[in-house]
Copies of this chain bind each other. A is one copy, B any other.
């Protein structure tokens, strides 16, 4: 595949939703009905830079998947179902593979490609994606609503992305799917939205993200580290709690409410104490080192 016009021609085959206008117009046009009453749109935009957010050596199909999935995860954290995405693409050496991964992730989550822009540039290549969704429930959950006495939960297992990254980096042959192909928890987010007092996705590490939820809600979160389900050996528990990219949902529920799907109770919401976060009773007074962003 050579050049912008060949890439856009190929994109057009994916952009079959009427809102995309065949990618031949200045913009996408998304018609909203009134049947459902007032609506809340959820909008998010993430950027991935080569060498920072993805490895130059990675399969472009996996890069495309992750670019879409991490934005859909942000929608999931708001209990929103995706209406579509706009892609800011920088042409690369293997755009056929990129398009294959893009087609896969869009089909998997039934998300229309609505538009975007294609440019030449780099290295490093920079890719951007905007996702727009419709909230299934209003008010739309935020990070700020956790209340004293609530219970803190997380979906899935943490550390799986870390193991996948290491398998990929060290070419061990072990399964790297969790790092390459994260799963946005869309249906879980939709089911949780009417119940939660606060919710977010775990993109930068459980402890750092819990810190942020506590700060936004002005409470303290007390986490029992042994309660957190991990995908790693026990001796790497702390690493699993600080690594990112797992895209699980972290949320708080009133003590009387049961989560409507599998999720693990990992702590409680306490009055604001010395610190926003207590791990096994010890205050965490500094967010440095709690989490980080990865290749």
**Contact in complex: B28, A44 (CB < 8 Å):** yes
Residues 238-269 of A at the B interface (beta carbon under 8 Å): none
Number of copies: 2
Q: Chain A, interface size: which category?
A: 35 or more
Q: Is A227 an interface residue (CB 8 A)?
A: no
Q: Is A75 an interface residue (CB 8 A)?
A: yes
**Contact in complex: A49, B119 (CB < 8 Å):** yes
Q: Is A8 an interface residue (CB 8 A)?
A: no
Q: Which residues of B contact A78 (CB under 8 A)?
A: 25-27, 29
| Contact flag A47-B86 (CB < 8 Å), given A27-B74, A39-B32 | no
Q: Is A122 an interface residue (CB 8 A)?
A: yes
CB distance from A64 to the nearest CB of B (A): 16
Q: Is A142 an interface residue (CB 8 A)?
A: yes
Q: Is A180 an interface residue (CB 8 A)?
A: no
Q: Is A289 an interface residue (CB 8 A)?
A: no
Q: Which residues of B contact A48 (CB under 8 A)?
A: 119
Interface string of A103-140 (1 = CB under 8 A from B): 00000000000111101111010101010110100101
Q: Is A223 an interface residue (CB 8 A)?
A: no
Q: Which residues of B contact A212 (CB under 8 A)?
A: 24
**Contact in complex: B27, A75 (CB < 8 Å):** yes
Bound: A286/B25 CA distance, A: 20
Name A117's contact: one of B45, B135, B143 (CB within 8 Å). B45
Interface string of A16-38 (1 = CB under 8 A from B): 00000100111111111110011
Q: Which residues of B contact A25 (CB under 8 A)?
A: 78, 142-144, 200, 216
Q: Is A206 an interface residue (CB 8 A)?
A: no
**Contact in complex: B135, A132 (CB < 8 Å):** no
CB distance from A192 to the nearest CB of B (A): 13
**Contact in complex: B29, A40 (CB < 8 Å):** yes
CB distance from A138 to the nearest CB of B (A): 8
**Contact in complex: A24, B122 (CB < 8 Å):** no
**Contact in complex: B86, A49 (CB < 8 Å):** no
Q: Which residues of B contact A140 (CB under 8 A)?
A: 29
Most buried by B among A39, A41, A86: A41
14 residue pairs A–B, Cβ–Cβ below 8 Å = A25-B143, A27-B75, A29-B135, A30-B42, A32-B38, A43-B114, A43-B130, A46-B117, A47-B117, A47-B119, A52-B121, A53-B119, A90-B126, A117-B128
**A residues touching B (Cβ–Cβ < 8 Å)?**
21, 24-34, 37-53, 74-75, 77-78, 80, 84, 86-90, 114-117, 119-122, 124, 126, 128, 130, 132-133, 135, 138, 140, 142-144, 200-201, 212, 216
Query: Given known contacts A29-B40, A30-B42, A32-B38, what 14 new A-B pairs fall within 8 Å (CB)?
Result: A24-B212, A24-B216, A25-B142, A28-B43, A29-B142, A32-B39, A34-B39, A43-B84, A45-B86, A45-B88, A52-B119, A53-B119, A90-B126, A130-B130
